[in-house]
Amino acid sequence: MRSAAVLKALPGVVILAVLAYLPYVPAQLPGILPGRVNGPGSLQLLATCLVIAGIALSYDVLFGRTGLLSFGHALFVAAGSYLLTISLADWSLPLPAAVTVAVVGTTLLALVVGGIALRVGGIAFAMVTLAFAQAASIIVLRNPSGVTGGEEGKSLNRSAVPGLLVGVANAPYRYWLALAFVVLCLLVVTLLVRSRAGHAMAAIRENEGRAAVLGFDTYRVKLLAIVVGAFLGGVGGIVHAVVLGGSNPHVTTTEFTLALLIMVVLGGAGSTWGALLGGFLYTYADARLVELSGAGFADALPEVAQQVLAEPLFVLGLFFIVIVYFAPAGLTGLGGRLIRRGRAT
């Protein structure tokens, strides 16, 4: 049984090992990455994709594992990000203390928001989480006392961050930091899913009423899902701020949470690797389509194609519709189905 578990985990270990080695690969991948694989631009893009993939996995704890449709997950990502940058820039805290403040603050916020929102269920729960997230977004944009930076965002106090994480030449270290965050998310979610609480979350997702009859404290289980998801989302916000050099007000918006929902559905809700794959591909496609829309080669395409490429969200929307229509279980579900069909033949 242990050997079977090792074999099952082996492909994931190999993938992570390959990703860890990428900063040593000088190859060119024209049209796929902007320059060499280990170039600063490519590593920055890959680091951003990895961070968002981990954040998507944190959202899957709520939506895919527990069946909670939250429109406020961006609140926790933003809390981690802004508490870090504010602690470093305005409160002059050392990095370990700033990280502690961001993680503890995000977790306490999750307890408060989750404790209130879970008093209702269904669409009402989604609307309450949306209200909290919208309130936080308005506060950030209004920039009270100049603390949040408003629409410009909040820059990271680079003097308080280790030199290895600052500067163009140190892009590999920020990439490895993002990869370490993904590994953390994988470990936490894997342990959670295999625990008694994880089984309770799955029972609530399938039928909350039946789970309550079986003796599960559904309120506490759902609150735990929110806290764990918020914890990972807050850590993701911290890493996101370090990778991008500051806090971006975009992570406070409902649009960001909706993007996370699309990522999870695209990769496969309730699938660990599905959420990671969906988050990575969505972020990569969003970034590269923006670059391709301004590339010179598009001038040679028909006018209709140029107009389509000029709207990356439109292209992503079409891709999402196709995946949902032909693969309702997401990309991982489609892959599993093709593998089983191949074995059958």
Of 106-120, 126-140, 286-300, which range is least confident? 286-300
Of residues 287 and 313, more confidence is placed in 287
Residue 34: per-residue pLDDT: 86
Residue 294: per-residue pLDDT: 56
> What number of CA atoms fall less than 13 Å from residue 39's CA on the CB side?
12
| SS3 at position 31 | coil
Q: Are 84 and 240 in contact (CB under 8 A)?
A: no
Q: Are 103 and 161 in contact (CB under 8 A)?
A: no
Residue 309: per-residue pLDDT: 63
State the residue for tokens 């309770």.
200
Q: Which of 9, 341, 52, 61 is nearest to 189 (CA)?
A: 61
Of residues 33 and 237, more confidence is placed in 237
Q: Are 247 and 98 in contact (CB under 8 A)?
A: no
In this structure, which amino acid lies at residue 140? V
Residue 2: per-residue pLDDT: 58
Residues 53, 47: Cα–Cα separation, whole Å: 10
Q: What is the mean pLDDT of residues 107-127?
A: 95
Residue 314: per-residue pLDDT: 72
Q: What is the mean pLDDT of residues 88-111?
A: 96
Q: Is the pLDDT of residue 297 over 80?
A: no
